[in-house]
Structure 1
């Protein structure tokens, strides 16, 4: 089944691949678990391994997310590393409703778990008072953006339904950043606030004067003045990788440099 067109940046996909049903992402050791409820503290409950049906391309791209998150845990663990990736929480994939879910081209992600208490719960940690958890959530969002065209989350939530999960759709590697695109702008704003220390940064998807200031601060701290993320996919992946490393390690921008 052919996908409908979305934005000009993500108007193509590998439509000839079939749907597949799996209970794992990337490796059969990295299972998916279905979020069935929330506990009294607001965290998702994921009682059992569950199979999900989705477009094969979506499964492949989602697998790349967990592959990269495993690599971040191995090399950039905040404490007591290396961390080995364990499992992924999921709220749904192919569902008969409007949007990309009906084509199996979207997946809703709810938890990323490295074991030993090291995890991100997407219903809680994006706006947690603890900065290291917000940073880790940001690392997950940046990693998702490397492999999917659209990433919706607690700060990029156009219809108010994404406060408790990360929705990704249109499995494409990162194209060049587009500051008219809220997925990209919110990543920069979030990084400027929680990595570069611009604590009053609004994460609203509007690339205005404050966001430009934050972008320039990040570019200086990252040593990336010559790397324009809007110029090419390769350049943007440099930025996403830097954000992911800093976020996972709970480090201020500039700890790791471009190149």
Structure 2
């Protein structure tokens, strides 16, 4: 089943298409929790396991995100410690309003948790200390592996995504395209926080400065022959590289294209 064009999705507010209701993603042990508010430090409060309604395809794709974040934590955990994935925070999924939420094809993530000392809070960590920004970037890259549109604190067209990560199925998880802000912001963020390119705005505009920053990142990754705009497989390799660097808090170049097995990247694609 193909979801409609953006113009159609945002023109009506009637809920459509079959959906399912679950309180877990990928594995029944990885529960979802609803963000009910914030604590005094601005972190989201998620007191209870909660069931959410969404389209079955969106549930499947979101499950792949959690599966891959589990693998990052287990095999590339922060500070070299293997970490077991715990639970996922959400602000919502299917909502009867214009856009992909009404199809159950959009999800708003608020927290990804590997334990009390290793988590991503989407209301805080996107603009926190560098190692936390890197971990947030790892989540963004992983989301992009399975959703074509990823909105966040640096890709926020209407000013409402400062506190959550919105993913939707309005665009398949295809090869990167520098005409899409989702893809350009990931490269800009990686160049700034992984490769140390200073003074680079994360604005979604693939201009000359971003082009030069991309060259730096490409060199560090040993990816001169791996163009992320050329194929979905190449895109997955790049996103896996960014995710691994971000999760382990390592500078670009610690891992290179040759460290990412191509068959694993192909298996993870949409």
Classify the TM-score, shorter chain: over 0.9
Task: Compute the TM-score of the two structures, normalised by the length of structure 1.
Answer: 0.93
2:251 maps to 1:249: no
Aligned mates of 1:244, 1:175 — CA distance in 2: 17
> Is the 2:182–2:204 contact (alpha carbons within 8 Å) kept by the matching residues of 1?
yes
Q: Deviations over 1:30-61 (max 9, x none)?
A: 00000000111111000000000000000000
Aligned mates of 1:29, 1:171 — CA distance in 2: 28
Task: Compute the TM-score of the two structures, normalised by the length of structure 2.
Answer: 0.90
Q: 1:52 to 1:175 in 2, by over 3 A?
A: same
> Is the 2:6–2:99 contact (alpha carbons within 8 Å) kept by the matching residues of 1?
no
> Is the 1:153–1:166 contact (alpha carbons within 8 Å) kept by the matching residues of 2?
yes
Aligned mates of 1:140, 1:48 — CA distance in 2: 23
Tell me the residue number matched to 2:191: 192
2:71 maps to 1:71: yes
Describe how 1:103-252 pairs up with structure 2 within 5 A: 103-128=103-128, 130-170=129-169, 174-252=173-251
Q: Over aligned residues, Cα RMSD in angstroms? A: 1.6
Aligned mates of 2:214, 2:6 — CA distance in 1: 27
2:95 is paired with a residue of what secondary structure?
A: coil
1:179 is paired with a residue of what secondary structure?
A: coil
> Is the 2:6–2:170 contact (alpha carbons within 8 Å) kept by the matching residues of 1?
no
Count, aligned residues: 250
2:95 maps to 1:95: yes
Describe how 1:2-13 pairs up with structure 2 within 5 A: 3-6=3-6
1:66 is paired with a residue of what secondary structure?
A: helix
